[in-house]
A and B are shown apart, each in its own frame.
Chain A
Amino acid sequence: MSSHITPEPATAPPHGGLVWTAGLIVAAALWWLVYRQLAPLSEWLVAMLPLDRHSHTGEALAFFLYDVPKVMMLLTGIVFAMGVVRSFFSPEKTRAVLSGRREGVGNVMAAGLGVLTPFCSCSAVPLFIGFVSAGVPLGVTFSFLIAAPMVNEVALGLLFGLVGWQVAATYLLFGLAIAIVAGWVIGRLRLEEWLQAWVREIHAGTAAAPPDEALTLADRYRLGWVAVTDIVGKVWAWILLGIAVGALIHGYVPADLMVRIMGAEAWWSVPAAVVLGIPMYTNAAGVIPIVEALLGKGAALGTTLAFMMSVIALSLPEMIILRKVLTLRLIGVFIGVVGSGILAVGFLFNILF
């Protein structure tokens, strides 16, 4: 048995990267042309139907028919680009970077890497153990684990496309801030002894990490495409559901009702949105069409952002998975710290905007 890995034989022709790049430029141009026609196209479709455009049903249908192709196209573009970017990162490299890092700087780096490092949600527990046992401080690990789901590329890209770049940038900034501060606070609390006993006793192997397979540009593009088929294949149902709910809100919910229960005046709506968001489990892609519709009806930005962050970052299924490695007390602290951060962002935005 040979213990070293033979380098990847060049199966793709040397100009593979060029062909891909040329193809991508054409695809991007086509994408842009179609994307710009979506609004007139959906209006034309609704006009074909035997109903009044300005009725409740007409409004809801117009929203649905416009948003479905728009969201799908945006998602494809974003996931592809992120897939290519993420091929430069891996959880193993991130762990090596964060291992032994001081708190503070470590929290900032962990939050940033949380956005860029690819890992599937069923890896959360091995990743957590792998980080902690390799000397990544607990608080730094939490910064990573909070940032990864909250500031994901799907949420950010869709916010950018559907709601506007200001809201997307705000979300990015405050999502990172919550991950950094919450991780730092958890680190300060010195809760290492609140991990499940067996986790503390593990000394994970680190030497065995597989060598970096040298990737060509064509390989990275291919990985981007794999990400598209994988992620879009998994979340399309959530998206349709989210857009359907958004369309119903858009068509049927009276605006004054929304202002009353989710407006900036109703201070209790921020904590209510956070609490409501915890048991709700949906993919980020599903929640954003709802956010779009809520904002359109006059819901306050802070309340809506708080709801969205709570749905994405504090999910019940994730808690149940983390229960295997964290004691209930530690999970309580996690919910408390992250929840307070989200509350703060919600109130701050309702005051500022």
Chain B
Amino acid sequence: MAKDVKVYGPGCKRCETTVQMVKDAADRVGVEVTVSKVTDLAEIAMAGVVSTPGIAVDGTLVHTGGLPDAAALERWLAA
């Protein structure tokens, strides 16, 4: 089953880059993912994300604030 990845962010350039990084990492690891962007400020806050972009994999927040590390991304997707 495809992993559900959410990228939290109001839609700045960094958030776009993060979405692309998630897709690239998924290709490298060979995991199927559905990536969705969460831009609603209320939803971002409810998820506990204080600094954007934030990343959640299958409902678990794995990263907030700044671009993720490519190697760490692969690990989160492979887990």
Of A102-110, A206-214, A298-306, A341-349, the one with at least 4 CB within 8 A of chain B: A206-214
Decide yes or no whether A177 CB sits under 8 A from chain B. no
Residues A324 and B51 in contact, CB atoms below 8 Å apart: no
Report B78 CB to chain A, min CB distance, Å.
10
Residue in B44, B62, B67 whose beta carbon sits within 8 Å of that of A210 in the complex: B62
Instruction: Judge whether A204 is part of the interface by a CB distance below 8 angstroms.
Output: yes
Q: Is the CB of A209 within 8 A of B61?
A: yes
Docked complex Cα distance between A133 and B43 (Å):
13
Which residues of chain B are near A90, meaning CB under 8 Å?
51, 64-65
Task: Confirm or deny: B2 has a beta carbon within 8 angstroms of a beta carbon on chain A.
Answer: no
User: Separation in Å of the A285 CB from the closest CB of chain B?
Assistant: 19
**Stretch of A121-129, A252-260, A273-281 lying at the B interface:** A121-129
- Say yes or no for A250: interface residue by CB 8 A criterion: no
Contact present for B52 and A1 (CB under 8 Å): no
User: In the complex, what residues of B have CB within 8 A of residue A119's CB?
Assistant: 51, 65
Contact A120:B50 (CB < 8 A) given known A6-B79, A208-B61: no
A95-B50, A126-B10 known; A209-B64 Cβ under 8 A: yes
How far apart are the CA atoms of A115 and B57 in the complex, in Å?
31
**How far is the CB of A21 from the nearest CB of chain B, in Å?**
21
**Of A11, A118, A122, A207, which is within 8 A of B12 by CB?**
A122
**Across-interface contacts of A126 in B (CB, < 8 A):** 8, 10, 41, 44-45, 49-52
Give the contact-size bracket for chain B.
20 to 34
Check if A30 is an interface residue, CB within 8 A of chain B: no
| Contact assessment for B46 and A205 in the assembled complex, using a CB-CB cutoff below 8 Å | yes
* Assembled-state Cα–Cα distance A95/B75 (Å): 27
Interface size of A by CB at 8 A reads: 38
A207 pairs with B48, CB closer than 8 A: yes
Looking across the interface, which residue of chain B has its beta carbon closest to that of A9? Answer: B75
Write out the residue numbers on chain B whose beta carbons fall within 8 Å of the beta carbon of A213.
72
Of B9, B10, B50, B72, which is within 8 A of A130 by CB?
B50
Cβ B50 vs Cβ A8 within 8 A: no
Q: Tell me how far the C-beta of A88 lies from the nearest C-beta in chain B, rounded to whole angstroms.
A: 13
Contacts of B71 in A (CB 8 A): 11
Q: How far is the CA of A235 from the CA of B64 in the complex (A)?
A: 23
- Assess whether A125 is in contact with B41, with CB atoms less than 8 Å apart: yes
Residue in A closest to B9 when the chains form the complex, CB atoms: A122
Provide the bound-state CA to CA distance between A67 and B45, in Å: 43
Given A1-B60, A5-B62, A120-B66, A324:B41 Cβ within 8 A: yes
> Which chain A residue shows the least CB distance to B49?
A126
**Residues of A close to B65: CB separation below 8 A:** 90-92, 118-120, 123
Asked if B42 and A198 make an inter-chain contact with CB atoms under 8 angstroms apart, the answer reads yes
Confirm or deny: A37 has a beta carbon within 8 angstroms of a beta carbon on chain B. Answer: no
- Does A184 reach chain B (CB closer than 8 Å)? no
Told that A1-B60, A120-B14 touch, could you supply 13 new A-B pairs with CB distance under 8 A? A5-B79, A6-B75, A90-B51, A90-B65, A118-B66, A129-B44, A130-B48, A198-B42, A202-B45, A203-B46, A204-B46, A208-B60, A210-B63
